[in-house]
Amino acid sequence: MKERLIALQERDRVAKEQKDQWDGDTRLQIKQTIRKITATDSETLWRQLEDLERQLLQNNIRGFKAWYRYLELAIDDDARRWIESSNTRDPGRQHVRAALAPGATDDDWKAVYRHARTELFRRAGLIVEPPGENAQRTWDAVVFPKNPTFAEITKVLRKLSEARLMMVRCRKFDDSPEALEREMYDLKKKIPLGSPLRLHLYGHGFEPPDFDRFLDSVQRYQFALERGKHEPGRLGDEGGDPGE
């Protein structure tokens, strides 16, 4: 009786997995729409993985077993063979064995998925340095010109957001007060001394308290430029209000 119950439970589990897989394929129309990962440099790879994971979340694809399956579909043959080879060695081999064992959990598949991501970055050249060091270098390299145009500000903000995501994922930035203080100090350094943008953000005794308020203040300056308000004094007067 016990064996029959276990068999029925296993049948139900497999049927549910197949239904979830079918539903996911239907939502994504996987072969036509899945985000492809073709990058061989780390910066582009970050963006492509982010695009894929955002697509999976938007289509309500849950569970790291499914995510690993879609990752395999998204990468090219060379990258797939690279990961397959890494899974014949520890720790990849240990992760795969645990995920395929009876009673495996989503955490087991999470380990397989994260190992595959790590191997993709290794293939992209990050074997020579920890990902955190690459994230820090990318973050430090993003700075504003002294007198940026509207288009230049847009470009810097895009790079800044991408670099910050790398810092968060590498746990260089987290929810601690110390990390927030370091982040805001770094952001202030990215704006040249004596520039109109610096005056706008920091010239009135007010400093943005977090990244979102920093973005808000920069975009106020940016859209004032678009409206033709080029005078530094007027732009500065539109900065953050300490009473807000």
Q: Which of 97, 113, 6, 27 is nearest to 64 (CA)?
A: 113
With respect to residue 108, please indicate whether it lies within any of the assigned structural domains: yes
Say what the pLDDT of residue 228 is.
Answer: 59
* Total number of domains constituting the chain: 2
Share in percent of the chain as helix, strand, coil (round to 5): 70, 0, 30
Say what the pLDDT of residue 21 is.
Answer: 58
Whole domain around residue 77: which residue ranges? 2-128
Say what the pLDDT of residue 178 is.
Answer: 92
- My answer on whether 122 and 22 are in the same domain is yes
- My answer on whether 177 and 108 are in the same domain is no
- pLDDT under 50 in the chain at which residues? 128, 230-244
Say what the pLDDT of residue 168 is.
Answer: 86
Residue that terminates a domain, selected from 74, 95, 128: 128
Say what the pLDDT of residue 160 is.
Answer: 95
HSE (side-chain half, CA atoms, 13 Å) at 37: 29
Rounded to whole angstroms, how far apart are CA atoms 236 and 27? 49
Which residues are CB-neighbours of 31 under 8 A, at least 6 positions away?
A: 73
HSE (side-chain half, CA atoms, 13 Å) at 185: 7
- My answer on whether 122 and 158 are in the same domain is no
Place of tokens 């309500």: 60
- My answer on whether 145 and 57 are in the same domain is no
The 8-class DSSP code of residue 173 comes to S
With respect to residue 244, please indicate whether it lies within any of the assigned structural domains: no
Rounded to whole angstroms, how far apart are CA atoms 20 and 17? 5
Q: Which of 122, 153, 176 is nearest to 225 (CA)?
A: 153
Residue that terminates a domain, selected from 95, 128, 161: 128
- My answer on whether 195 and 120 are in the same domain is no
With respect to residue 99, please indicate whether it lies within any of the assigned structural domains: yes
Say what the pLDDT of residue 199 is.
Answer: 93
- My answer on whether 74 and 139 are in the same domain is no
- My answer on whether 101 and 182 are in the same domain is no
